[in-house]
Amino acid sequence: MADDIRRWSDELARDPSSLVFLQLAEALRRRGQLELALKIAVRGLERHSHNGEAHDLLARICVDRGDLQRAFDEWDMVLRLTPSHVGAMKGLGYICYQEGRRDDAEKYLRMAAEHGGEPEVVAALENVRRSGPVHASTVSALEETHHASSDDPRRLFADLLGDHDQTALLLDAQGLVLAGIYVDSEAHDVSQEVGAELSGVSDEAQRASRHLDLGDWRSIVVETEVAVIAMLPAAADNIVMLAASRATPLGLVRRLSDRCVDRARGWLGGGGRA
């Protein structure tokens, strides 16, 4: 982790407009260096004011610092930028509940549950509906969802991708999703379907490379009328699949794909923990 922080700091020093500030500030937040994390997140937002993940990160830092009002404002901004952002819905539900605003808390938690929130969200929602005064188990469940968000496998690539027109999945050799999320234009989680459909392409790529004596395949990029899809082998027959809008430059797709592969290898090497 210390090496990562040093590397990300160096990269940010070289290129102050880099999105690496997301990883750096998140790592510092996890280490409890909240003031430094805040400083880096705020500076990053000055350059990327429309980046929903950056506002989400700042909100989480603010919660950890006990600044609930600012966290509320940041998550509110996330939802304006990315209306289907489950993390922001959970965060807003958490703050509203902490402030005794049960109706608002229920509203946000219901939204999160409808957008595919984890079982903890549903449990917290049930508690909010049942409880009169603030209930300890509800606060606990909400805190759990808040703290769990950064360790959720579905968010493995979130800080790398930044903008909401890019998404990535880590698939196993059978095409099953290990991490990441793919949300369609109607905010439905279609990760399993997309992963299953596209995983066969890598088998075909491997076959072609082998029979044409081209060695191991390194990547396959498919451009469609709506998206650019890149697939790359990760460790042990797993595949990283990145999808980006057609507006994304191909060079950036390649760069993001490489970063996602690095992240996936680290995650797999750590036994599936971020």
CB-wise, 54 or 253, nearer to another protein? 253
Cα gap 20→42, rounded to integer Å: 13
What residues contact residue 133 under an 8 Å CB cut-off, 6+ apart?
Answer: none
Taken in order 94, 100, 101, 103, is the CA torsion positive or negative?
A: positive
Q: What six digits make up the tokens of 51?
A: 């980046």
Q: Of residues 6, 80, 218, 255, which one binds another protein by CB under 8 A?
A: 218
Q: How far is the CB of 206 from another protein (least distance, A)?
A: 9
Q: Of residues 148, 190, 236, 252, which one binds another protein by CB under 8 A?
A: 190
Q: Of residues 15, 114, 204, 237, which one binds another protein by CB under 8 A?
A: 204
Q: What six digits make up the tokens of 177?
A: 């999703």
> Quick one: DSSP state of residue 94?
H
Q: What six digits make up the tokens of 173?
A: 């050799």
Give, in order, the Cα–Cα distances in Å from 210 to each of 98, 104, 206, 230, 240: 58, 58, 6, 20, 20
CB-wise, 150 or 245, nearer to another protein? 245
Q: Is 229 in the site for another protein (CB under 8 A)?
A: yes
Of 201, 247, 197, 196, the closest CA to residue 220 belongs to 201
Of 171, 83, 97, 85, the closest CA to residue 138 belongs to 97
Among the listed ranges 18-26, 75-83, 155-163, 210-218, the one in contact with another protein (CB under 8 A) is: 210-218
CB-wise, 44 or 180, nearer to another protein? 180
Interaction with another protein in 42-71: which residues (CB under 8 A)? none
**Kind and range of the H or E element at 232?**
strand 227-233
Q: Is 151 in the site for another protein (CB under 8 A)?
A: no
Q: Is 3 in the site for another protein (CB under 8 A)?
A: no
CB-wise, 68 or 227, nearer to another protein? 227
Q: Which residues bind another protein (CB under 8 A)?
A: 184, 190, 193-194, 197-198, 200-201, 204-205, 207-209, 211-227, 229, 243, 250
